[in-house]
């Protein structure tokens, strides 16, 4: 919290035109809250900091919590977003890093992966407008160093409420993650196959985005859509960077896939394409059926090896 106050103080110092009392009014915090915190007279409570964050964010404030927060996004369905979220997160957790998965898809596939479906409390309870639950109350530890914020169709029910909230509807996830982000090394967000407000919320809450790409003609053409959305969100969230593309469901030794993989870097010369390719491997589907990540299901499988290598490439930048 101390570092948040310092970041807020620095932001206000660098932007002298900001009206501190106006910000307090917009955030709905008691008069003088921010002023006293900045002067060192009174500590800013977590509750008030959470109220102030979205307002300050609208004025361009960015707070780097220290955690790497990565959306795994592609509006094309079935390109292994969920398989990659779950297995990259499991591979990183296995290396001793504290990792959290956010299931931002009402299909709840990532949650099912760990048998965490139909829970009484879930992510939608932390994203609702009325008395949202702190993330700590809805996240579930699924194995050593790995937690998930589960979802199911209840999340779908929240979409219209979020859409009608013109001021903060796109910032609900960012607001919910802010108090806990610093407690994790990595947070991965499994996005739905759509360019809707759930994907926008994910990108606004993130500082990175990974795009899984299936090396098929229509998949590669469709990347333009997600890239357009990322670029738009980056205008309001300038810390958002494309970490890169990685290939999934790769059939090795097929001319089509080899050609497609070669062409992606030509189309996007400035974006990293990860060297590790995730091969088509039945263990990945079997693991999901058994409600396990592929490393736990069969550590010697091609899927476990590929996701371990990809996670190492990601960690090493």
Ligand X SMILES: Nc1ncnc2c1ncn2[C@@H]1O[C@H](COP(=O)(O)OP(=O)(O)OP(=O)(O)O)[C@@H](O)[C@H]1O
Binding site for ligand X (CB under 6 A): 77-83, 105, 107, 109, 193, 248-249, 278, 280-282, 284-285, 288, 303
Cα–Cα distance, 240 to 233 (Å, whole number): 8
Q: Which helix (H) or strand (E) holds 79?
A: none
- Written as one string, the DSSP assignment of 140-201 is EEEETTEEEE---THHHHHHHHHHH-TTTTTSHHHHHHTTTGGG-SEEEEE--SS-SHHHHH
Q: Which of residues 44-83 bind Mg ion (CB under 5 A)?
A: 81-82
Shortest Cβ distance from residue 193 to ligand X (Å)? 3
Residue 306's nearest CA partner among 156, 90, 138, 155 is 90
Q: Which is nearer to Mg ion, 25 or 153 (CB)?
A: 153
Q: Which is nearer to Mg ion, 105 or 298 (CB)?
A: 105
Cα–Cα distance, 165 to 171 (Å, whole number): 10
Which residue minimizes CB distance to Mg ion?
82
Shortest Cβ distance from residue 64 to ligand X (Å)? 28
Q: What angle separates helix 46-58 from helix 20-27, to the nearest 10 degrees?
A: 110
Q: Which does 280 bind (CB under 5 to 8 A by kind): ligand X, Mg ion, none?
A: ligand X
Shortest Cβ distance from residue 303 to ligand X (Å)? 6
Cα–Cα distance, 194 to 301 (Å, whole number): 31
Instruction: Answer yes or no whether residue 292 interacts with Mg ion by CB under 5 A.
Output: no
Shortest Cβ distance from residue 263 to ligand X (Å)? 20
From the list 33, 48, 57, 109, which residue makes contact with Mg ion (rule: CB under 5 A)? 109
Contact 76, 193 (CB under 8 A): yes
Q: Which is nearer to ligand X, 23 or 211 (CB)?
A: 211
Q: Which of residues 237-266 bind Mg ion (CB under 5 A)?
A: none
Q: Structure tokens of 261?
A: 């993989």
Q: Which does 249 bind (CB under 5 to 8 A by kind): ligand X, Mg ion, none?
A: ligand X
Cα–Cα distance, 38 to 43 (Å, whole number): 9
Q: Which does 301 bind (CB under 5 to 8 A by kind): Mg ion, ligand X, none?
A: none
Shortest Cβ distance from residue 146 to ligand X (Å)? 17
Shortest Cβ distance from residue 250 to ligand X (Å)? 7
Strand partners, 259: none
Point out which residues bind Mg ion (CB under 5 A): 81-82, 109
């Amino acid at each position: 919290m101390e570092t948040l106050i310092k970041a807020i103080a620095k932001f206000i110092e660098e932007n002298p035109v900001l009206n501190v009392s106006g910000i307090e009014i917009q955030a709905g915090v008691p008069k003088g809250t921010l002023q006293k915190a900045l002067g060192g007279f009174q500590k800013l409570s977590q509750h008030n900091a959470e109220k102030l964050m979205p307002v300050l964010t609208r004025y361009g404030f960015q707070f780097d919590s220290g955690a790497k927060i990565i959306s795994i996004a592609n509006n094309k369905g079935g390109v292994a977003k969920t398989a990659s979220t779950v297995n990259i997160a499991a591979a990183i957790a296995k290396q001793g890093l504290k990792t959290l998965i956010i299931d931002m898809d009402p299909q709840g596939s990532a949650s099912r992966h760990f048998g965490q479906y139909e829970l009484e409390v879930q992510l939608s309870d932390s994203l609702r407008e009325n008395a949202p639950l702190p993330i700590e109350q809805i996240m579930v530890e699924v194995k050593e160093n790995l937690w998930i914020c589960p979802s199911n169709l209840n999340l779908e029910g929240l979409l219209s409420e979020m859409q009608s909230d013109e001021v903060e509807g796109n910032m609900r996830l960012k607001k919910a993650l802010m108090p806990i982000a610093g407690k994790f090394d990595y947070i991965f967000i499994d996005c739905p196959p759509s360019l809707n407000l759930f994907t926008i919320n994910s990108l606004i809450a993130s500082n990175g985005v990974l795009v899984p790409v299936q090396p098929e003609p229509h998949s590669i053409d469709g990347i333009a859509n997600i890239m357009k959305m990322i670029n738009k969100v980056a205008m309001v969230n300038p810390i958002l960077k494309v970490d890169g593309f990685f290939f999934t469901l790769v059939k090795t030794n097929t001319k089509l896939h080899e050609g497609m993989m070669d062409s992606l870097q030509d189309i996007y010369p400035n974006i990293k394409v990860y060297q590790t390719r995730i091969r088509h491997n039945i263990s990945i589907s079997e693991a999901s059926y058994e409600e396990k990540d592929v490393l736990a299901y069969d550590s010697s499988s091609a899927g476990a090896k590929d996701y371990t290598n990809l996670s190492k490439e990601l960690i090493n930048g």
